[in-house]
Amino acid sequence: TQLLEQSPQFLSIQEGENLTVYCNSSSVFSSLQWYRQEPGEGPVLLVTVVTGGEVKKLKRLTFQFGDARKDSSLHITAAQPGDTGLYLCAGPPPGGGADGLTFGKGTHLIIQP
Amino acid sequence: NAGVTQTPKFQVLKTGQSMTLQCAQDMNHNSMYWYRQDPGMGLRLIYYSASEGTTDKGEVPNGYNVSRLNKREFSLRLESAAPSQTSVYFCASSEDWGSGELFFGEGSRLTVL
């Protein structure tokens, strides 16, 4: 059972369009992180959300943590080809434990010029 | 500003051969990790080292061994490679165990024939 479910799995849109990708769980997380991974590279942290209901903005990217801390979303406004990549959400295992971050399977995003 | 450096970037092995993936970080981080990334499976933790001198199993440790050589270096060894170990391997580090942000290397693509 995947603790963090990401949707959609794949998304291909035109430059200039808006999009939202989701990270959902049936468990409560103390925090969630979003990473972006470009082809041939390792994931790079974009943001960490900690407080239920929190909204963080990073230029054209808006991240929201659900009130119940079970889900998060990433909204991109006016997508650009440079936004292409694999977007991963991750969080520490609910209830603690020594297994490090658990990752979702990711959303593959392609922005076509 | 190297961050996390992995070698080699690419490797092809025959079934039964052994090899070691090397990882070094220059950020004075205490914790280091080895993940594997497979299509449709996401990132899965193989082994981790919460601090120098300690190592622990993650989600998928079978067929692997690790050594935390010193604070900077954390190696992953495949004693007898199997086709199921064909994957992209990522080393990562964080300031402390559970401190949040993971810094990843560029990955090592391993093919076992």
A4-59 pLDDT, tens per residue? 999 999 999 999 999 999 999 999 998 999 999 999 999 999 999 999 999 999 99
For residue A88, pLDDT beyond 90: yes
Q: Which of B52, B58, B48 shows the shortest CA–CA distance to B92?
A: B48
Cβ atoms of B2 and B102 within 8 Å: the answer is no
For residue A42, give the nearest of B44, B98, B104 by CB distance: B104
- State the pLDDT at residue A96: 61
Residues of chain B with Cβ-Cβ distance to A103 below 8 Å are 42-44
For residue B19, pLDDT beyond 90: yes
- Rounded Cα distance between B11 and B51, Å, is 28
Q: Which of B27, B85, B94, B31 shows the shortest CA–CA distance to A35?
A: B94
In chain B, what is the straight-line distance between the N-terminal and C-terminal CA atoms, in Å? Answer: 35
Chain B contact for A95, CB < 8 A?
no
User: Could you give the dihedral angle defined by the CA atoms of residues A62, A63, A66 and A70, in that order, rounded to the nearest 10 degrees?
Assistant: 150
| Interface contact A42-B107, CB threshold 8 A | yes
Chain B contact for A44, CB < 8 A?
yes
User: Cα separations (Å) of B28 from A100, A101, B52, B76, B89?
Assistant: 19, 20, 11, 19, 22
| Interface contact B45-A48, CB threshold 8 A | no
Work out the average pLDDT over A55-65: 97
For residue B97, pLDDT beyond 80: no
Phi-psi domain of A78 (left: phi exceeds 0; alpha: psi -120 through 50; beta: other): left
For residue B24, pLDDT beyond 90: yes
Torsion sign across C-alpha atoms B20, B26, B27, B29: positive
- Rounded Cα distance between A43 and B8, Å, is 18
| Interface contact A41-B107, CB threshold 8 A | yes
User: Cα separations (Å) of A111 from A83, A108, B58, B70, B75?
Assistant: 7, 10, 35, 42, 37
Work out the pLDDT band at A100, boundaries 50, 70, 90.
confident
Lowest mean pLDDT among A66-75, B1-10, B92-101: B92-101
